[in-house]
Amino acid sequence: MLNTHLKYPPIKNKNIKELPKVLIYHQSRSYYDTFILFSTDKSEFGKQVIMKCTKEFINRDGRKNIPSLYIDNLISNCSGHGYGTKMLDFAINYSKKLGCNGYFHLLADGCYNPHKLPHIFYRKYGMSTTNYKIDKKLDKLIKKGKNATYKDFKTEEMYYPPIKHPESKFKQFISRFFK
């Protein structure tokens, strides 16, 4: 239908802004908050990331009762498009809003895809485990460009910002010896 035949043609609004690349939908339950990130791009239709989280108090870095956002679930149906990273960026901001100072933690588990564990993704993002050897093993896999499978790791607690690992006793001895 041509606009010339309309008695009142549509108004053209010059102030219309473009939609952002992603939108995040929030649903609050009594115990968990659920966030769904989805793309507004037509070519990326159906791609989404779901995160369920809640505020907890944890012990880390030798301190007790530190407020931290616990991410119970982080599920993505579109690996490699940057949406998981955007959801973790959002988790940092949401953590600050809840009074957790940007701290969050989760359990990295391969129950959804045992042949491509999320541990590598979380480590690339800047998270760490409480075990220095596991972090070192993850760093080696990242350097080689390999994925981790269920044979490489079990379910691991991961933290952001990274846990400060104490130096090994051997490193402490060497540093004292050469001073």
For residue 174, the model assigns a pLDDT of: 64
Q: How far apart are CA 105 and CA 94, in angstroms?
A: 13
- What average pLDDT does this structure show over 93-116? 91
Q: Answer whether 160's CB lies under 8 Å from 126's CB.
A: yes
For residue 170, the model assigns a pLDDT of: 60
- What average pLDDT does this structure show over 51-55? 96
Q: How far apart are CA 88 and CA 106, in angstroms?
A: 11
Residue 49, class by beta-carbon neighbours within 10 Å (0-12 exposed, 13-18 middle, 19+ buried)? Answer: buried
Q: How far apart are CA 163 and CA 85, in angstroms?
A: 19
- Dump pLDDT digits (tens) for 109-141: 988 877 888 999 999 999 999 999 999 999 999
158, two tokens? 């991961």
- How far is the CA of 106 from the CAs of 36, 71, 160, 161, in angstroms? 17, 5, 9, 12
7, two tokens? 């008695």
CATH architecture of 20-112+125-131+155-177: 3-Layer(aba) Sandwich (3.40)
Nearest Cα residue to 115 out of 156, 150, 79, 140: 150
For residue 78, the model assigns a pLDDT of: 82
Q: Are strands 48-60 and 22-28 parallel, antiparallel or unpaired?
A: unpaired
Q: Phi-psi region for residue 99, left (φ > 0), alpha (ψ -120 to 50) or beta? A: left
Mean pLDDT, the chain, as a whole number? Answer: 87
Please give the model's pTM, rounded to 2 decimal places.
0.81
Nearest Cα residue to 23 out of 11, 6, 35: 35
